[in-house]
């Protein structure tokens, strides 16, 4: 759901959905946010890997490979 929200009442488990229109940002502000997002995204993987132990990095790599193989299997089917 683009531009909307989903709210779940924890007590009852009832899901509410609603449409909230997206705000249009001025182009210069949007470009700034895009650049900041790219900057943080470029650093994120290295920082995350530096905080992991060797075993955690290995498990993360294994999950990534399995996800890629599964995607390939689905595409070939």
- Per-residue pLDDT of 14-67, as tens digits, reads 776 766 566 788 999 989 999 998 888 888 888 899 999 999 999 999 999 999
Q: What is the reported pTM?
A: 0.46
**Rounded Cα distance, 29 and 6, in Å:** 27
Q: How confident is the model at residue 1 (pLDDT cuts 50, 70, 90)?
A: very low
pLDDT of residue 74: 82
Q: Quick one: CA dihedral 35, 38, 43, 48, positive or negative?
A: positive
Is residue 5 within 8 Å of 17, Cβ to Cβ?
yes
pLDDT of residue 12: 79
**Rounded Cα distance, 35 and 29, in Å:** 10
Spatial neighbors of 21 by CB under 8 A, at least 6 apart, are 3
């Amino acid at each position: 759901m683009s531009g909307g929200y989903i709210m779940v009442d924890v007590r009852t488990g009832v899901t509410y959905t609603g449409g909230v229109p997206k705000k249009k940002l001025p182009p210069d502000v949007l470009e700034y946010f895009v650049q900041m997002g790219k900057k943080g995204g470029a650093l994120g993987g290295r920082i995350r890997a530096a905080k992991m132990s060797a075993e955690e990095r290995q498990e993360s790599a294994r999950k990534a490979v399995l996800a890629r193989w599964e995607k390939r299997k689905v595409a070939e089917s």
